[in-house]
């Protein structure tokens, strides 16, 4: 029993990711060009470098758009679980990119710290554009992060942090300006190293979390506990075992075995499993795919019925030991494979009986035949009109 997310929902999610990314990319382009132009006129190497950093966010936007477009494709025969892992791979790439940005900022900062002659000529215009950059990039960060949390997208979250890293680099420029004005030019380098460490930590965290997702790490214990509670709340579920969860691009997949009454019909067992599936999809926001396996007993440590004969073999032995077995009763035979043995329910047509004594004789004869089969635990005979 299997379920997956609605294609319409995936398309809506892609449209929201695209909107957020395009808005951020437009701001990045305007800021990047403005910083480079004003930095060139103001003779500010730091502002020019900051402008190049802003333009590098356009690459981030391209990665996000590409991953979002392809990761939201519907599942097919080649990728039965969908393309969500493309988004996960893109998140790893952005985490590595953030770490690279941090290393670059640290390198330039240490170089300036070791070479006091590398000075920056700031103007009021350079100060204003740096301040505007901080405000704009912080706004992009909050706008993108809000969408990332709403859509449960690690990819957008990585993009948001990349935007904030640009805001951090602009703060470094502002600190450098203040340091130059106050006669402490080394403050620029010290602040840059501190900011770079923060960016590297964020990048490493994104790489780590997305890598864990690629190797199918389970959801958080709290979320798994919530899933268990919802499954137990479904009437007819006796117990749960072999509950497995995994994350894929903001969605969660659940695979669970539930134990039901061993005497239920196949259709009723299926109905209980379908109720479990619907409840998880409705009440656990992350869950978009559920597979439910119905068990008549707990087989978590292995099935106790692996060595038992098939239905055809059981019928063949019964016919051999009880030649009078009516052909019509074969189709009405129900077998219950439980606890390493078989319980048999046999419905016989009442037309084969001529008297009560004959009924007793048939049942006794059948029980004698059954007793010779060691794998039969019990038998129930019913005569039906």
Instruction: Give tens-digit pLDDT for 226-239.
Output: 999 999 999 999 98
33 — pLDDT class (breaks 50, 70, 90): confident
Q: What is the 3-state secondary structure (H, E, C) of 153-216?
A: CHHHHHHHHHHHHHHHHHHHHHHHHHHHHHCCCHHHHHHHHHHHHHHHHHHHHHHHHHHHHHCC
Task: Find, among 332, 297, 30, the residue nearest to 166 by Cα.
Answer: 30
Instruction: List, in order, residues 6 or more apart from 58 with CB less than 8 Å away.
Output: 25, 28, 29, 32
Task: Find, among 185, 176, 159, 160, the residue nearest to 50 by Cα.
Answer: 176
Task: Find, among 121, 221, 203, the residue nearest to 157 by Cα.
Answer: 203
| pLDDT for res 216 | 66
Beta strand 287-295 with 251-259 is parallel
Segment holding 290, helix H or strand E: strand 287-295
Helices 186-214 and 84-114, axial angle in degrees (round to 10): 160
Average pLDDT over residues 347-370: 69
Phi and psi at 105, nearest 5°, equal: -65, -45
pLDDT tens for each residue of 57-66: 676 677 767 7
Phi and psi at 203, nearest 5°, equal: -60, -45
| pLDDT for res 232 | 93
**Which stretches within 284-324 are classed as H helix?**
311-321
| pLDDT for res 4 | 47
pLDDT tens for each residue of 115-139: 655 445 555 777 787 788 888 888 8
Higher per-residue pLDDT: 260 or 117: 260
Domains delineated in the chain: 2-214 (1.20.1510.10), 221-295 (3.30.70.1350), 311-384 (3.30.70.1350)
> Scanning the structure block, which residue is given the tokens 């691009």?
249
Read out DSSP for 29-74?
A: HHHHHHHHHHHHHHT-HHHHHHHHHHHHHHHHHHHHHHHHHHHTSP
| pLDDT for res 275 | 93
Q: How far apart are CA 318 and CA 325, in angstroms?
A: 8
Cβ atoms of 109 and 188 closer than 8 Å: yes
Average pLDDT over residues 304-330: 74
166 — pLDDT class (breaks 50, 70, 90): confident
Tokens coding 72: 């939201």
> Scanning the structure block, which residue is given the tokens 């795919």?
289
């Amino acid at each position: 029993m299997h379920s997956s997310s609605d294609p319409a929902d995936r398309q809506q999610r892609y449209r929201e990711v695209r909107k957020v990314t395009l808005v951020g990319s437009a701001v990045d382009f305007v800021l990047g060009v403005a910083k480079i132009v004003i930095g060139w006129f103001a003779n500010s190497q730091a502002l020019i470098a900051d402008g190049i950093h802003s333009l590098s966010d356009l690459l981030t936007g391209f990665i996000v758009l590409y991953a979002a477009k392809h990761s939201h494709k519907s599942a097919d025969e080649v990728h039965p679980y969908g393309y969500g892992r493309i988004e996960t791979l893109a998140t790893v790439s952005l985490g590595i990119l953030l770490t690279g940005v941090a290393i670059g900022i640290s390198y330039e900062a240490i170089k300036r710290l070791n070479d006091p002659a590398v000075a920056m000529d700031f103007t009021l215009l350079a100060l204003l554009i740096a301040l505007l950059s901080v405000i704009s990039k912080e706004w992009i960060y909050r706008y993108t992060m809000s969408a990332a949390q709403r859509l449960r997208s690690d990819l957008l979250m990585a993009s948001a942090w990349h935007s904030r890293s640009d805001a951090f680099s602009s703060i470094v420029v502002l600190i450098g300006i203040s340091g130059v004005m106050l006669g402490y030019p080394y403050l620029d380098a010290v602040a840059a190293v501190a900011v770079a460490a923060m960016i590297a930590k964020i990048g490493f965290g994104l790489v780590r979390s997305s890598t864990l997702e690629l190797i199918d790490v389970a959801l958080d214990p709290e979320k798994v506990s919530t899933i268990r509670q919802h499954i137990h709340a479904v009437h007819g579920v006796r117990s749960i075992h072999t509950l497995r969860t995994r994350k894929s691009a903001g969605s969660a997949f659940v695979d669970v075995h539930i134990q039901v009454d061993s005497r239920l019909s196949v259709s009723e067992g299926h109905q209980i499993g379908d109720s479990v599936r619907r409840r998880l999809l409705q009440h656990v926001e992350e869950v978009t795919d559920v597979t439910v396996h119905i068990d008549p007993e707990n087989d978590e440590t292995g099935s106790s019925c692996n060595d038992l004969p098939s239905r055809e073999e059981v019928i063949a032995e019964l016919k051999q030991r009880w030649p009078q077995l009516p052909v019509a009763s074969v189709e009405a035979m129900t077998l219950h494979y439980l606890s390493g043995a078989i319980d048999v329910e046999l419905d016989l047509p009442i037309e084969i009986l001529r008297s009560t004594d004959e009924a007793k004789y048939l049942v006794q004869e059948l029980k004698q035949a059954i007793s010779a089969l060691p794998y039969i635990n019990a038998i129930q005979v019913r005569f039906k009109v």
